Amino acid sequence: MEEPFVLVAIGIAVITMFGLIYQSRLQSKQLKQTENNQYDDTLRKLMNDLYEVYRFDIEVKTKDECELFATRLLDILAVVTHLYKKRKISSDKEEQNEMLDFVYFDLRIGKGVMEWFHEKKLFKQYNVKSAAEIWTNLDDYFKKNEIKKCAKAALPHCIKKYDWFPSMLFVYGTLITDETRKDVLGRDVPGVPATLDGYDGSKTVTIEKESYPAAEKKKKYSIQGLLIEVTPEELKKLDVWETDAYRRKEVELTNGIKAWIYLNKNSN
């Protein structure tokens, strides 16, 4: 009497086993499909992000915008290499490598941009010692995969033009007057009111028996002045006009804008 029950039990166990195998395969297939969808979405978003950054390249008109462009490009590539390292793009190694193949030349451009970022010492604003410290995953990928930087001609347009973009200059002394700026630079140079904290503008230097304002770094002090835009050639002209009693330094104004300023040569 027990034999039919045993056969039934075995039959149920076999059916259950096949059901579990089928369910496992179905779940595996669904997981793979989910990964494929995620892979497609990641690739599509990546290519769109890169497209938007490169499109911004032709719109860049200032050094600040150029630095923003470089930062955005390197951020995107750093995220990609991070996902690659953590195998978050896909569990399939071949698919991961395929993803990186899509952006191989972008990675070469990225290495060139990172080296440029370092050469211009733009990393200092992040309180680190190199550009590689900002984008560590990206730098590791470059080294491990022996990625070579692109040729200079292949660098983004704004990177190649960086030194020719107009610079912002904070003026507070003689150059505060419209007439002086026009006499020195040979054109009308409009200015926008601006403030620099942490500097004392009441200090002076003597040039040919005349006293001129020469700011020095000093806590709890601030200088009211003007922010003007000048070309690289005009900056060179101003370097000569200001004489060796001054030195030019880049500072950050109260409103967050970076600008050059002429300080007492002995100031920090």
pLDDT in tens, 140-163: 999 998 999 999 999 999 999 998
* Range(s) within the chain of domains with CATH label 3.10.490.10: 166-264
Per-residue pLDDT tens for 8-59? Answer: 556 566 566 655 665 666 565 555 555 555 656 766 787 888 899 999 998 9
Q: CB–CB of 96/153 below 8 Å?
A: no
Report the CATH number of the 166-264 domain.
3.10.490.10
Q: What is the pLDDT along the chain (268 residues), one digit of tens a residue?
A: 456 655 555 656 656 665 566 566 656 555 555 555 565 676 678 788 889 999 999 899 888 899 999 999 999 999 888 877 766 555 556 666 666 777 889 999 999 999 999 999 999 888 899 999 999 999 999 999 899 999 999 999 999 999 888 889 999 999 999 999 999 999 999 999 999 999 999 989 999 889 999 999 999 999 999 999 999 899 999 999 999 999 999 899 998 888 999 999 988 7
